Structure 1
Amino acid sequence: MMKNNYWLWAVALILVNTGWYFVSQQNASQEINRPGAEFSESRNAELSVVYGDELDYEIVHCFESINGVVYNVSINIQQGSKTLYSWEGDTNDGCITHTSSAEEGDIVVNTEIEEGVEVTTELTTWPMKSAFPIGVVLFSVGTIVVAFGETFVRYMIKKYKDDGTDNQANEIGENNSDSSNIWQDPLRPN
């Protein structure tokens, strides 16, 4: 029976860490500019991370001409005085995806377009991705502590019950052992 218990805890360990993997891979999206909303040439965004000081990000930008004329467009991402990403092209280039890493902090997305262009810009980050290894360690240790703690508690309960049963049996036997009478009261458990 004990071997089955270890197998169950091993499965629990795998399930806990698999769940943590899926949680840590969740992304956070920020719309910088989109059609139908008020366009802004300069927008602030935030790169935030749960653990560490660097994170992965992805920026997707699409420029579309409303009237079919080809226009020049550009996008530039700054973090302080550092340029994280710069792109220049035209409305025929379609959607562009850029993936990189950067330090945690505020960024500024500068977009230059001409009249007659719709722009869609979306920033995606994975704030918990860098916390995955430390989370695996913490959740594994926690699961192991619960597993062996449960085994220890069961052992202590069994030991307490065994000690209590022996004492009660001795007390019953001592109280009812009167050798002068042939008849004695029946023994009843408490």
Structure 2
Amino acid sequence: MNMSSSRRWANPALWAVALVLINVLWMNVAKQTAPNEINTADQFERFREVDVAPVFGTQDALPAVFSTTFSSLSLDQANVSYTVRLNNESIVFSWSGVLTDEVPDWEGDLTPGTYVVETVVEEGIQVEQVLLLQPFETVQMTGHVVLSFLLVAIAGLEQGVRAFIAKNTKTTAAPTTTSTAPFKPSAYNEQETLAWDDTDSPWREPVR
């Protein structure tokens, strides 16, 4: 394979690598979670509101994980519970038990809206609640399509610009000029130089 063939294949190969990399990066971004603290050990309220905003204007449900931990330094046993309602009306999920129970994480999809978390505990119990959302999971496939299309469009535009510049460079190249002498020398004829006519002599016989 010669040098020109290697250069011809190098640029498309680089764009192909860029296409793979940008899709891998977007896939990692789409799987990232956004934590929302509901209650902490230092700050607790029985009613907490959390807004689940739509992503890029879509009303698709977002994957979510709701984690709750109850603990106490002064109580050995107590009743604990929490309830999550959408728009403070319909119950989305709830759990109730005692302090020594292991609270399972809730996993599901939450539609955009305002959620109210009601947590019921006795005095002296610390509560830690976190809502993890994956906002870009719902638009992951759309993101792959859009990013791939944009990258292919940029690659095509780059190739077009290269071809346009190369074409203009050839057409605007300065033409080669040849210098001409101001006087054209006459052809030299040896026979004409050697031939001598007597009538051409400047000396003539005297008139008698």
Q: Shorter-chain-normalised TM-score: which range? A: 0.7 to 0.9
CA distance in 2, matches of 1:61, 1:132: 28
Opposite residue 77 of structure 1, the aligned amino acid is V
Q: Can you list the C-alpha shifts for 1:26-71, whole angstroms capped at 9, x where unaligned?
A: 221111111122x211000011231431111111001113224211
CA distance in 2, matches of 1:153, 1:178: 43
Q: Which residue of 2 aligns with 1:25?
A: 31
* From 150, 161, 164, the counterpart of 1:153: 161
Please state if 1:46 is matched with 2:51: yes
Please state if 1:118 is matched with 2:126: yes
CA distance in 1, matches of 2:85, 2:105: 17
Q: Can you list the C-alpha shifts for 1:109-145, whole angstroms capped at 9, x where unaligned?
A: 0000112211111111111211211111111111101
CA distance in 1, matches of 2:154, 2:84: 47
Contact 1:64–1:94 (CA<8 Å) still a contact in 2?
Answer: no
CA distance in 2, matches of 1:117, 1:134: 45
Contact 2:75–2:125 (CA<8 Å) still a contact in 1?
Answer: no
CA distance in 2, matches of 1:145, 1:177: 52
What does residue range 17-166 of structure 1 map to in structure 2 within 5 Å?
Answer: 17-37=23-43, 39-51=44-56, 52-53=58-59, 54-80=61-87, 81-165=89-173
> In proportion to residue count, which structure has more helix?
1
CA distance in 1, matches of 2:184, 2:165: 39
CA distance in 1, matches of 2:182, 2:27: 72
Contact 1:64–1:118 (CA<8 Å) still a contact in 2?
Answer: yes
CA distance in 2, matches of 1:142, 1:30: 33
Contiguous gaps of at least 5 residues in structure 2: 1-6, 186-208
SS of corresponding position for 2:104: strand
SS of corresponding position for 1:40: coil
- TM-score scaled to structure 1, two decimals? 0.86
Opposite residue 73 of structure 1, the aligned amino acid is V
* C-alpha distance 70-181 of structure 1, shift in aligned 2 (>3 A): farther
CA distance in 2, matches of 1:181, 1:133: 78
Give RMSD over aligned pairs: 1.7
**Deviation, structure 1 residue 158:** 0.7
Contact 2:62–2:110 (CA<8 Å) still a contact in 1?
Answer: yes
Q: How many aligned residue pairs are there? A: 176
Opposite residue 63 of structure 2, the aligned amino acid is D
CA distance in 1, matches of 2:184, 2:23: 68
Q: Can you list the C-alpha shifts for 1:92-123, whole angstroms capped at 9, x where unaligned?
A: 11342111102101100000011221111111
Opposite residue 74 of structure 2, the aligned amino acid is N
CA distance in 1, matches of 2:149, 2:181: 58
* C-alpha distance 178-137 of structure 1, shift in aligned 2 (>3 A): farther
> In proportion to residue count, which structure has more strand?
1
